[in-house]
């Protein structure tokens, strides 16, 4: 890590990072979400700042409370649509865009204005069915010109093959593939084990702290960006 932070120099670079799991409201007191803590994205934002980069962090409410270094511009969002709006609002003039947020693939087709009542959906009348509609794919929708784009891929099987598909489909320059079948790493843990997938091939990093993974991702970006 010492060696990496010595060679990592992001001065003069603007870096946009998203972090955390998004939340989709069902009614004023209930929501759908996922297990992502935001630790990986916040580690990237912090390491990029230490390396001299000018960082904008769009984090979800899951990541609020994680320590963020001074100098980082922090924007907080909740839903995938809010994240979409902020990423598009901030993307101009960035040099590196890193989409590490775990975006809800679906949201409620209709958000109830008032709390849903138990007796509205009795089993006798078929119970409660939630109608979900697809959220926009933020990474795929972002412009790609003028900056280096990194996405993540959480997979439980065929990790590299799926990551390669996402690289092409979303137009990213690198996909950080994450095997989430091992529940002791990834999501809420302080460690991670990832494979960096680019058109030039796949490099598997050793299991290490999320800070270490962040430094390795940024070093690979610095190298590939040249
Ligand atoms: N992503 C996004 N917008 C979405 C869904 C995902 O920007 N609506 C981004 C994530 O931030 C990540 C990458 O796309 O960088 C891959 O996310 P992932 O959930 O692994 O892929 P999906 O395309 O949603 O496919 P699936 O969940 O079916 O594996
Ligand atoms: Ca998904």
Residue 123 alpha carbon to ligand 1 centre in Å: 34
Predicted confidence band at 199 (pLDDT cuts at 50, 70, 90)? very high
The pLDDT tens digits for 117-146 are: 988 888 888 899 999 999 999 999 999 999
Predicted confidence band at 186 (pLDDT cuts at 50, 70, 90)? low
Can you tell me the ipTM of this complex?
0.99
Q: Over the chain, what is the mean pLDDT? A: 94
Q: Please state whether beta strands 194-198 and 201-204 pair in parallel, antiparallel, or not at all (unpaired).
A: antiparallel
Which residue range is the domain that position 21 belongs to? 2-225
Q: What is the CATH number of the domain that holds 184?
A: 3.40.50.10300
Residue nearest to atom 20 of ligand 1 (CA): 153
Comparing 9-18, 39-48, 123-132, 144-153, the range with the smallest average pLDDT is 123-132
The pLDDT tens digits for 53-95 are: 999 999 999 999 999 999 999 999 999 999 999 999 999 999 9
What integer is the mean pLDDT of 167-191? Answer: 86
- Selecting among 34, 110, 131, 192, the annotated active-site residue is 34
Instruction: Verify whether residue 192 is a known catalytic residue.
Output: no
Q: Which ligand is nearest to the CA of 167?
A: 1
Residue nearest to atom 28 of ligand 1 (CA): 105
* Ligand 1: lining residues by beta carbon, under 6 Å: 80, 99, 101, 103, 105, 135, 137-139, 151-154, 166, 170
CB atoms within 10 A of CB 23: 19
Q: How far apart are CA 196 and CA 67, in angstroms?
A: 26
Residue 53 alpha carbon to ligand 2 centre in Å: 29
Q: Are the beta carbons of 48 and 217 closer than 8 angstroms?
A: no
Q: Which atom of ligand 1 is nearest to the CA of 140?
A: 7
How high is the pLDDT of residue 1? 63
Q: How far apart are CA 12 and CA 4, in angstroms?
A: 18
The pLDDT tens digits for 108-125 are: 999 999 999 988 888 888
Residue 79 alpha carbon to ligand 1 centre in Å: 14
Residue nearest to atom 23 of ligand 1 (CA): 166
Kindly report the pTM of this predicted structure.
0.96
Number of domains in the chain: 1
């Amino acid at each position: 890590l010492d060696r990496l932070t010595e060679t990592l120099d992001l001065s003069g670079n603007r870096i946009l990072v998203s972090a955390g799991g998004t939340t989709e409201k069902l009614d004023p007191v209930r929501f759908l979400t996922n297990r992502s803590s935001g630790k990986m994205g916040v580690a990237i934002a912090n390491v990029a700042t230490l390396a001299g980069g000018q960082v904008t962090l769009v984090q979800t409410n899951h990541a609020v409370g994680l320590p963020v270094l001074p100098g980082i511009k922090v924007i907080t969002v909740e839903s995938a649509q809010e994240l979409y709006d902020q990423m598009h609002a901030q993307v101009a003039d960035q040099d590196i865009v890193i989409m590490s947020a775990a975006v809800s693939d679906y949201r409620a087709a209709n958000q109830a204005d008032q709390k849903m009542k138990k007796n509205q959906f009795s089993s006798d009348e078929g119970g409660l069915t939630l109608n979900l509609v697809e959220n926009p794919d933020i990474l795929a929708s972002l412009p790609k010109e003028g900056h280096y784009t990194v996405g993540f891929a959480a997979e439980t099987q065929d990790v590299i093959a799926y990551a390669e598909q996402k690289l092409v489909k979303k137009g990213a320059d690198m996909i950080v593939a994450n095997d989430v079948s091992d529940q002791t790493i990834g999501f809420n843990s302080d460690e991670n084990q990832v494979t960096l997938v680019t058109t030039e091939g796949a490099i598997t990093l050793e299991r290490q702290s999320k800070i270490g993974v962040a430094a390795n991702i940024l070093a690979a970006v610095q190298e590939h960006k040249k």
